[in-house]
Structure 1
Amino acid sequence: MKSDNAPLVILGINGVYHESSAAIVIDGKTQFAIEEERLNRVKHAKPAGLGNPHVLPHNAIAQCLQFADITLQEVDIIAFSFNPAKRLAKHRNLVEPCEQGGWGTATAERAYFEKLMTVPRQLADQGFAGQFMWVDHEMAHAASAFYPSPYEQSAIISIDGIGEFESASIGYAQGNNIQFTHHIDYPNSIGFLWEKMAKYLGFSEYDACKVMSVGSFGDSARYKSQMQTLLYPEGFGFAVDADKLCFRLEDYSQLEALFNVAQRDMHDPLLPVHHDIAAALQSVTSDMLLHLAQSAHELTGSNNLCMAGGVALNCVANTRLFEDGPFENLYIQPAANDAGTALGAALWAYHSVLQPNTRVAQPEHTYLGACFSDDEILAVLDNAEVSYTKHDNLAQQVAPLLAQGKVVGWFQDAMEFGPRALGNRSLLADPRDPEMVKRLNRLVKHREDHRPFCPSVLTEYADQWFDIKKVAEASRYMLMAYPANSLLKSQIPAVVHVDGTSRIQRVDKVSNAKYHALISEFNRITGVPMLLNTSFNDREPIVCTPQNAVNTLMRTKIDYLAIGSYLVVSESKAPQAEATSAQSVEI
């Protein structure tokens, strides 16, 4: 039996649709959070399917428990970021075209509900004996944004594809409490609109980032009037033309008629018409998020805005709604997608249900994941028989290599929570090299050349190199896109997209001292206070462990791996390295 002064342990779980994750909160403070995909090495952890909502992120849960050095029996509360009864009730009277036995049908929704209702029993069978809570999905998103934010009170926008039934909500939070003031229900969904349009343009439903990239090459005016018939403002929110979009049918005939363009096959070339359709989608989306921001300001009167949900990862729309909108401050949960709801559910369970006298301060960063000691790293390096050297100041060794055009895997300290690599699980390169984009895309990342790379810039230089009208907290997490300074952008061609903007990460000394030191050293050498930063992966989830990092190094054209205190030379460069295989040299 736990003593009266024992810490209160809350485990948050997301596992219904995709981006499965777990987070642990102890006495109200976030201790650890991780996505299941980083551990099972399956992108998004699992597909969003009717048959698997009850499949739990067992690896992520185990990592949370291991970090806290506890067993599941010692967890007091489990907060699960979904409410099955709410989804079932909301879909009961919904009438829309559906695939037989598919999403939205009575039989499928009942089976979905019954699978989810096995979750508490699964956890009990593994030893959990505490209190289990179903947390509304939109509330979990909202909590993930507000409680880690620096604001005492704030407007909130939660916006994604669908929770139980809502696709977006506007709310207000103060102290420990969050209240919603307006909801937008399915089928009115910007997230689903992007999924449908992504598939229409020949991508997968997970490829919103590719659609954004393609749209940067297009002319939004060409199809904007057609796109405005699909998504348009309605009161404080928005609506979509569900008849044309047919979200729950694999039917694109209405879109083909609207745009007079056939659905693109994934193997077909991208044509200007596809660029223009994607550009129109981005333009209308940005308009709509600005409208939502204006509505949130009118409904709440706050000068602060917190956001979460998958649509909040759209950096172009974020910049528009903030710089052209009424808010003075903006915080976006770095894990804005469904992964963040594990954290949000746990924080909501503590602050709103237990009602402490004061709100508990949260970490001012998103480095909440797995961390490895030099001893653990060394064991992996020796087993892999790679060439490495050990250094007291790795930044002084790596910065000159980057300035010489080398590509370096940078693996340090705790892993980021969320879809962006923010300097602890990153591939780094010289932003001055105009050929670096093609080199990385073809030899390392193996992806399309139209997709841009982003800069990590020292925060003290950000407003000199980029045109920033209002500084947003969200720009610390690659969630804002700014025009590059017209006088300086020619110096950093590898991180400026075709539209002249960059999705930046502001790096400060407090939140990431090692990364700040590396960029500072690169700046000392080159006069450029930033690095090209992309996620450390190759068509896989971002690397989590030292073994993941070594595996990716060995099968790609990465030149070096800077991991812990060690600098590892890729196999192709090993003959030129001073270090011999599986030997460490102190420098």
Structure 2
Amino acid sequence: MYTLGINAVFHDSAACLIKDGQLIAAAEEERFTHFKHGKRPVPFSTWELPFHAIDYCLCIADIHVNDLEHVAYSFDPYLLVGEQYRDKSTIEIPFENNGKIDNNDWLNVWDPLFLSSIINARAQLNDGYPHHLQKRFIGANIKPEQWHYVEHHLAHAASAFNCSPFDEAAVMTVDGRGELATTTYNFGSGQQLTRIGQVNMPHSLGLLYEQVTTHLGFLHSSDEYKVMALASYGNTDFVKDFREMISLSANGQYTITNQNFTERFGPQRLRHHEFTAHHFNIAHSLQLVLEETLLDITSWLQKETGSANLCMAGGVALNCVANARIRDAKAFNNIWGQPASGDDGTALGAALWIDAQQRKSNEREFVMDHAYLGPEYNDDEIEKFMKWSKVPYRRMENIAEETAEVLAQDKIIGWYQNRMEFDPRALGNRSILASPINPEMQARLNEVKDREDFRPVAPVVLEEEAANWFESAEYSPFMLFIYDVKADKADRIPAVRHTDGTARIQTVNEQQNKKYYDLLKAFYRKIGVPVLINTSFNTLGKPIVCTPRDAIECFWSSPFDALVIGSFIIEKNADINSNPDIQTTTITQQMPESAAVAVTE
């Protein structure tokens, strides 16, 4: 049984495909269209279906859209417009009373159009696909009984629990907003979730963080991780202000008092203007109070459920500093976070939930131990494109050893291998890699990627060596937690040590990603350090690269030193005339199909 999962609300539009309980493909729409977070420059575009990501998922299974048994959409519009409209073919959205919502002050001018688009999403799938993708869509006929709306936070919760390693767990989801809920608490057992409680709009920890993100001159629903990084430079000057905004009560409930940030904190910082200690202190205070609030909530949730395990999803679950505070508080023995905790992951959660319900399965059939679920290109496809584009390259005899040698020379490389990550963070298949030994490397990488200078870079470390370099480090394949750099190792890996002494680590073992693991082992043998810098293969404002064309364009337009792509290496300073192994053949042929995958209308 094939079940397609779709997210096309708010941001991070994505699709995934489940076959009989197993996840076989998942991807974000941005990787194909090149619009960051799936947002085209028009207000309603986020609600367009992720046709390119859907097409990719269908391609992996080699099926047509009509071969799908079910489609799960990670938002239920009828929770807003009213259940009485669910079975009607056409409705007039009653926004003068707003259905079941008594207090609708938080609604905005786009919500009627937003909900109309979602209610008509099945028609979009059947009739609205782009012409150049018609191979897998033409003649589409998804019937009403095949189409399932899944509550947004239920989709988040299922993405966290239904592919976790736990048979039972407490489940917490925290984000900006769903239909009504902004925070939910569930207990998971088998494949089922029981709702314990929820916090509704307009009270939202996620939206509070977004609002401060805007006040600090960043893009909301995009740059919250920058605020998290900025927080390490500040102090607690505004902790009292944020504590006054958030009122906690029993059973995980909280309210947030609307505040005029300009009155409290002064004028909003303009983009590209200088950061001051004032901005650092706002970020630090916000981050600290968020952590305090989540610690109180998780303490209650553990007592309520009695579980030793916690699963987390929602955009706030990408806050690795807060995650580490929850881990270190030890209310729960084990914590698992969904790597695609943003709205992209709701496509996965919706599909897993509907798959389990339709097959009436309560047995766990899938554990998510990696996120390599996107497109891949083999050596033949890569080489064909490099020849077509007249790129000088050479084939490597030993990818790990030769790449490690380049890294040992303090060079920056693009690393492009196997299947793309389904995740906002590169995890070793679409990465920029560098040695962590030179303390100037963090600044060099921020310059290469045109990032703010306060931004840290993250390390990847051999799983078996992690605890020797980072305090109490353990299995952490998804970069969801920070750890302190060990004092006796700090001078050996200064580039990955943030100003507060921490690092957001990724561990890797041979089973998860053999090429990546072998590279780390080779670097360890040469240098004596089992750590590399791993940052995402993209530049400012661009999504992580997907196709060979994306990788090569990004490489040649940025000051990288080398690109390792499949079995090949491209070096900018290579002496073409003196190296007979470098391929420079001029050929005349059509652009290969693999190069055109990401081309849009």
> Fold conserved (TM > 0.5)?
yes
Distance 1:51 1:504 in 2: 36
Q: Which string of whole-angstrom CA distances, capped at 9 and with x for unpartnered residues, describes residues 453-479 of structure 1? A: 00000111111111127x4x5x21111
Q: Which amino acid aligns with 2:281?
A: D
Whether the aligned pair in 2 keeps the contact of 1:16 and 1:48 (CA below 8 Å) is no
- Residue 453 of structure 1 corresponds to which residue in structure 2? 457
Distance 1:154 1:340 in 2: 19
SS class of match (1:95): coil
CA drift of 1:151 comes to 0.8
| Match status 1:95 vs 2:110 | no
Q: Structure 2 matches for 1:224-243, cutoff 5 A?
A: 224-243=239-258
Whether the aligned pair in 1 keeps the contact of 2:181 and 2:198 (CA below 8 Å) is yes
Whether the aligned pair in 1 keeps the contact of 2:508 and 2:517 (CA below 8 Å) is yes
| Match status 1:175 vs 2:152 | no
Whether the aligned pair in 2 keeps the contact of 1:88 and 1:109 (CA below 8 Å) is no
SS class of match (2:66): helix
CA drift of 1:349 comes to 0.6
CA drift of 1:88 comes to 3.1
Which one of the candidate residues 8, 11, 16 is aligned to 1:23?
16
- Residue 527 of structure 2 corresponds to which residue in structure 1? 526
Q: Which string of whole-angstrom CA distances, capped at 9 and with x for unpartnered residues, describes residues 280-324 of structure 1? A: 011011111212211221121110111111000000000001111
- Residue 230 of structure 2 corresponds to which residue in structure 1? 214
Which one of the candidate residues 119, 125, 128 is aligned to 2:141?
128
Q: Which string of whole-angstrom CA distances, capped at 9 and with x for unpartnered residues, describes residues 255-277 of structure 1? A: 12223x22211132100011011
SS class of match (2:79): helix
SS class of match (1:489): coil
- Residue 55 of structure 2 corresponds to which residue in structure 1? 62
Q: Which string of whole-angstrom CA distances, capped at 9 and with x for unpartnered residues, describes residues 453-509 of structure 1? A: 00000111111111127x4x5x21111011110111111111000111000001111
After the TM superposition, which segments of 4 or more aligned residues of structure 1 sit over 4 Å from their partners? 47-50, 89-92, 571-578
- Residue 335 of structure 1 corresponds to which residue in structure 2? 340
Q: Specify whether residues 437 and 315 from structure 1 end up closer, same or farther in structure 2 by C-alpha distance, changes over 3 A only.
A: same
SS class of match (1:379): helix
CA drift of 1:397 comes to 0.3
Distance 1:574 1:193 in 2: 55
- Residue 364 of structure 2 corresponds to which residue in structure 1? 359
Whether the aligned pair in 2 keeps the contact of 1:387 and 1:577 (CA below 8 Å) is no
Q: Specify whether residues 63 and 111 from structure 1 end up closer, same or farther in structure 2 by C-alpha distance, changes over 3 A only.
A: same
Distance 2:577 2:292 in 1: 55
Whether the aligned pair in 2 keeps the contact of 1:38 and 1:541 (CA below 8 Å) is yes
- Residue 548 of structure 1 corresponds to which residue in structure 2? 550
Whether the aligned pair in 2 keeps the contact of 1:142 and 1:307 (CA below 8 Å) is yes
| Match status 1:37 vs 2:30 | yes
SS class of match (2:582): coil
Which one of the candidate residues 254, 258, 267 is aligned to 2:264?
258
Which one of the candidate residues 186, 197, 205 is aligned to 2:212?
197
Q: Specify whether residues 359 and 543 from structure 1 end up closer, same or farther in structure 2 by C-alpha distance, changes over 3 A only.
A: same
SS class of match (1:179): strand
Whether the aligned pair in 2 keeps the contact of 1:187 and 1:242 (CA below 8 Å) is no
- Residue 516 of structure 2 corresponds to which residue in structure 1? 515
Whether the aligned pair in 1 keeps the contact of 2:39 and 2:46 (CA below 8 Å) is no
CA drift of 1:512 comes to 0.8
Q: Specify whether residues 209 and 75 from structure 1 end up closer, same or farther in structure 2 by C-alpha distance, changes over 3 A only.
A: same
Which ranges in structure 1 are unaligned for 5 or more consecutive residues? 1-7, 245-253
Q: Specify whether residues 532 and 93 from structure 1 end up closer, same or farther in structure 2 by C-alpha distance, changes over 3 A only.
A: same
Q: Specify whether residues 459 and 430 from structure 1 end up closer, same or farther in structure 2 by C-alpha distance, changes over 3 A only.
A: same
Q: Specify whether residues 163 and 379 from structure 1 end up closer, same or farther in structure 2 by C-alpha distance, changes over 3 A only.
A: same
Distance 1:344 1:95 in 2: 29
Distance 2:303 2:42 in 1: 38
Distance 2:255 2:332 in 1: 26
SS class of match (2:258): helix
Distance 1:91 1:314 in 2: 34
- Residue 74 of structure 1 corresponds to which residue in structure 2? 67
Q: Specify whether residues 357 and 258 from structure 1 end up closer, same or farther in structure 2 by C-alpha distance, changes over 3 A only.
A: closer
Which ranges in structure 2 are unaligned for 5 or more consecutive residues? 83-97, 128-136, 587-601
Q: Which amino acid aligns with 2:428?
A: G
Q: Structure 2 matches for 1:112-511, cutoff 5 A?
A: 112-125=114-127, 126=137, 127-130=140-143, 131-205=146-220, 206-219=222-235, 221-244=236-259, 254-259=260-265, 261-356=266-361, 358-442=363-447, 444-468=448-472, 471=474, 475-511=476-512
Distance 2:294 2:40 in 1: 27
Q: Which amino acid aligns with 1:557?
A: P
Q: Specify whether residues 576 and 210 from structure 1 end up closer, same or farther in structure 2 by C-alpha distance, changes over 3 A only.
A: farther
Whether the aligned pair in 2 keeps the contact of 1:53 and 1:116 (CA below 8 Å) is no
User: Among the aligned pairs, what percent are the same residue?
Assistant: 38
SS class of match (1:291): helix
Distance 1:75 1:147 in 2: 21
Q: Which string of whole-angstrom CA distances, capped at 9 and with x for unpartnered residues, describes residues 420-461 of structure 1? A: 10000000001011111111111x201111000000001111
Q: Which string of whole-angstrom CA distances, capped at 9 and with x for unpartnered residues, describes residues 29-70 of structure 1? A: 000000000000110011698634541111001101111101
CA drift of 1:16 comes to 1.3
Distance 1:481 1:239 in 2: 27
Q: Which string of whole-angstrom CA distances, capped at 9 and with x for unpartnered residues, describes residues 89-131 of structure 1? A: 4775343656xxxx446xx433332221111122233513350
Whether the aligned pair in 2 keeps the contact of 1:382 and 1:583 (CA below 8 Å) is yes
Q: Which amino acid aligns with 2:480?
A: L
Distance 2:485 2:567 in 1: 34
Q: Which amino acid aligns with 1:541?
A: P
CA drift of 1:361 comes to 2.2
CA drift of 1:513 comes to 1.0
SS class of match (2:438): coil
Q: Specify whether residues 186 and 361 from structure 1 end up closer, same or farther in structure 2 by C-alpha distance, changes over 3 A only.
A: same
Q: Which amino acid aligns with 1:203?
A: F
Distance 2:256 2:169 in 1: 31
Distance 1:91 1:309 in 2: 26
Distance 2:256 2:339 in 1: 31
Whether the aligned pair in 1 keeps the contact of 2:183 and 2:199 (CA below 8 Å) is yes
Q: Specify whether residues 499 and 158 from structure 1 end up closer, same or farther in structure 2 by C-alpha distance, changes over 3 A only.
A: same
Q: Specify whether residues 91 and 380 from structure 1 end up closer, same or farther in structure 2 by C-alpha distance, changes over 3 A only.
A: farther
Whether the aligned pair in 2 keeps the contact of 1:18 and 1:48 (CA below 8 Å) is no
Distance 2:340 2:232 in 1: 24
SS class of match (2:477): helix
Distance 1:70 1:571 in 2: 45
SS class of match (1:287): helix
CA drift of 1:386 comes to 1.6
SS class of match (1:22): strand
| Match status 1:570 vs 2:572 | yes
CA drift of 1:575 comes to 6.4
Q: Which string of whole-angstrom CA distances, capped at 9 and with x for unpartnered residues, describes residues 315-361 of structure 1? A: 00000011113111111111010001111111101113421252212
Distance 1:576 1:225 in 2: 66
SS class of match (1:277): helix
Q: Please tell me the root mean square deviation across aligned C-alpha atoms, in Å.
A: 1.9
Whether the aligned pair in 2 keeps the contact of 1:481 and 1:503 (CA below 8 Å) is yes
- Residue 92 of structure 2 corresponds to which residue in structure 1? none
Q: Which string of whole-angstrom CA distances, capped at 9 and with x for unpartnered residues, describes residues 397-437 of structure 1? A: 00011011011111111111010100000000010111111
SS class of match (2:193): strand
TM-score by length of 1: 0.91
TM-score by length of 2: 0.89
CA drift of 1:174 comes to 0.7
Distance 1:527 1:448 in 2: 30
CA drift of 1:212 comes to 1.1
Q: Which amino acid aligns with 1:22?
A: A
